[in-house]
Structure 1
Amino acid sequence: MRRAAAGLAGLLGLALGATAGTASATELKVSHFMSPMHHMQARVLEPWTQNLASEAAGDLTFRIFPSGELSKSPVAQWKTALTGVTDIAFGLPGYTTENFPRTMLTVSPGLFETAAEATDAIWDNIEDIAPDYERAKLLALWGSEPAVLMTRNTPVKSLADVKGLKIRTADQVSASIIEAWGGTPVPLPASEIYTAMDTGVIDGLFIDPSGVPSFRLDEVVNHVTLGLPTPSSAFFLVMNQSAWNGLTDAQKALLDGVSGRQLSLDSAASYAKEAERGMDILKSAGKDIVTLNAEAQAEFVEATKPVADKLVADANGRGVENAADIASALGGKN
């Protein structure tokens, strides 16, 4: 009887031990508003989470929620991370510029020529930019290739050609640029561009070429203008602070080891690769590719100068006393 009781106690102990081991595993929710076929999920988020889960040996797992499953609004991705709707969110600071006055300095028009250049500049100055993210754990922050101007019916070869055009913009910076050029900015998330172009709600759009394959823009645009003083877009990957605080020291070390600058550069590289693919699609489809001549470029550059000054003034107005210094360190002319 004693042997039977001892055996039962041993089995119970094993069961409890197994339950305790399972209970210690942590699953993190990763959310974004893009399609599950979007290049960021396929080339960055899936390999990143799979690598982390493998390194954690079952102690840490991830579940990706694409297509706005946890929050339909592209604008709300930052909020979903802050409030714990998700543990990790991928989104754009430009959708809620008031929260990111320092980050907005990184999207000054004409500042960078490539996604890698933008991302390196961000991380070279991350201590000055990081206060924008103090309410969350910043995992990655990167820039895209510079935006291009795409239109349906009107080829843009000079500043005068923009006058009166309704142009989709993603953020206040792009809106300020379009206004400076004489156009009318129409703020829309990328997911609404196709329908707006197809129905004539907008005449054109401001976006980096990575958006072409993601949103089938080759079907609704006919003209593409290159050589403009345009901004890159900034993107973040952030983690809910309570979720971060709840990790073990080992789990935190694991996440830190594969986040930061390198994850940001990997993300930027994905955007650059997709932008190249986007331009190839446009060229293969026979779209009109306009490269501005020097005189036209100078017109656009001159008209755009006040936008960079306004970015610094806006940041100052939101309490960023060293905004001019940050802009200068990033490569700005202020």
Structure 2
Amino acid sequence: MLNRLIAAALMLAAAVPAAAGNVTLRFSNWLPPEHYVVTEMIRPWAEDVAEATDGRVTVEIMQAMAKPEAHFDLVRDGVADLAFGVHGYTPARFKLTGMAELPLLADDAEANSVAYWRTYQRYFRPANEHEGVKLLSLWTNTPAQIFLRGGDVAGVGDLSGRKVRVLGATTGEVAQRLGMTPISAPASQSYELLSRGVIDGTFFQSDSIVSFRLQDYVDTAVTVPGGFAHSSQYLVMNRDKWNAISKADREAIEALSGEAMARRFARVWDRKAREARETLRGAGVRFVRLDGDARDRLAERLAPVRADWVETAAERGVDGEAALAYFHDQIEALNAE
């Protein structure tokens, strides 16, 4: 699949005039340089862009030019040309993307992400929540579960009173409805907060617990099929920089972005999650799974989270029920492939 995408991108770029100028895109990276978002997602994609454009468009990965939550504005304002970001870090700006963050969706990041991109294209794009930049793609990682330090946890009722880091507005609401105290902070601050005892736990994906070296500070993972939430993520480019690229090279980059990128990046998340669960079990982390009746009771408690998103979508001119129905239909179709 990837080789076919690159081949298609090369064919699209072949028509570019020889006089077209070269473009270097500055990618502001707020993650550790060895994090697999960089080494297994961004960097390989950047290499494919260079190959598909015959070297006319290249990506330079640089140290972060601002805090994680500032990267959308950083790209919009031209301080950086490219950035990876998390929608949940700026919930006041992004409302429709909250659909992909809802609890009890899909365990599979690939199906969730491709369905998300298709739903965005059909229902959310006219609302233009990414105004001022070129949105290259959006996707989710695997479901966020609840990882805790200390205390005996057998079910949802034992979560009340815990202070937990949340990923954004959706996990903040989930935490409150489960009687927990939400603490909003970027993923990059998780180690400091947990190691110092500022929080009792965090909503996180299993792979992120490992990649941020948190396995020594958690002993229990409370999980539910479909997860307590998801993290909606994006890659954006400065609009002026995008327009400075030749039409043929833009088409080549488009062939490597959109649904292709969502599927490609999600596959990395899925693989890393599988590996991380084994690592955590080996480290002695106890997994408490809420299934059957326990999951049904949880779904009842969290139903208002879904209803709140539908209401918010309506405020932005989107039929949230229709979007959710299409989203779930796409997930089912993708899982059946």
- Fold match, TM over 0.5? yes
Matched, 1:115 2:112: no
CA contact (8 A) 1:155 1:225 kept: no
Aligned match of 2:240: 242
Aligned match of 1:15: none
| Greater displacement, 53-62 / 165-174 | 53-62
| Structure 2: gaps spanning 5 or more residues | 1-17, 330-337
Aligned match of 1:97: 91
Question: Structure 1 vs Structure 2: percent identity of aligned residues?
Answer: 27
CA contact (8 A) 1:166 1:186 kept: yes
Letter aligned with residue 104 of structure 2: G
Aligned match of 2:255: 257
Matched, 1:85 2:116: no
CA contact (8 A) 1:155 1:224 kept: no
Aligned match of 1:218: 215
SS in structure 1 of the partner of residue 215 of structure 2: helix
| Greater displacement, 250-259 / 180-189 | 250-259
Letter aligned with residue 72 of structure 2: W
For residues 153-186 of structure 1, what are the alpha-carbon distances to aligned partners after superposition, in whole Å with 9 as ceiling and x for unaligned? 0243222201111011010100000100111111
Give the TM-score, by structure 2 length: 0.86
CA contact (8 A) 2:104 2:224 kept: no
For residues 267-317 of structure 1, what are the alpha-carbon distances to aligned partners after superposition, in whole Å with 9 as ceiling and x for unaligned? 111111121222111111111111225333232221111111111222333
CA contact (8 A) 2:118 2:259 kept: no
SS in structure 2 of the partner of residue 306 of structure 1: helix
CA contact (8 A) 2:85 2:235 kept: yes
| Greater displacement, 206-215 / 287-296 | 287-296
CA contact (8 A) 1:29 1:86 kept: yes
Query: What CA distance in whole angstroms lies between the structure 2 residues aligned with 1:220 and 1:63?
Result: 35
- Alpha-carbon RMSD: 1.9
Aligned match of 2:309: 311
CA contact (8 A) 1:122 1:142 kept: yes
CA contact (8 A) 1:52 1:254 kept: yes
Matched, 1:231 2:225: no
| Residue 22 of structure 1, CA deviation | 9.7
> What does residue range 172-321 of structure 1 map to in structure 2 within 5 Å?
172-227=169-224, 229-317=227-315, 319-321=316-318
| Residue 56 of structure 1, CA deviation | 2.2
Decide whether aligned partners of structure 1 residues 194 and 107 sit closer, same or farther in structure 2, where only a CA change above 3 A counts: same
Query: What CA distance in whole angstroms lies between the structure 2 residues aligned with 1:30 and 1:320?
Result: 33
For residues 130-153 of structure 1, what are the alpha-carbon distances to aligned partners after superposition, in whole Å with 9 as ceiling and x for unaligned? 332242211111111111110000
Query: What CA distance in whole angstroms lies between the structure 2 residues aligned with 1:43 and 1:276?
Result: 16
Query: What CA distance in whole angstroms lies between the structure 2 residues aligned with 1:43 and 1:219?
Result: 25
CA contact (8 A) 1:32 1:77 kept: no
| Structure 1: gaps spanning 5 or more residues | 1-20
Letter aligned with residue 328 of structure 2: G
For residues 59-78 of structure 1, what are the alpha-carbon distances to aligned partners after superposition, in whole Å with 9 as ceiling and x for unaligned? 22210124x2x22x111111
Query: What CA distance in whole angstroms lies between the structure 2 residues aligned with 1:293 and 1:145?
Result: 18
SS in structure 1 of the partner of residue 165 of structure 2: strand
| Residue 258 of structure 1, CA deviation | 1.1
Query: What CA distance in whole angstroms lies between the structure 1 residues aligned with 2:291 and 2:107?
Result: 18
Which structure's relative contact order is higher, taking Cα pairs within 8 Å and 6+ residues apart? Answer: 2
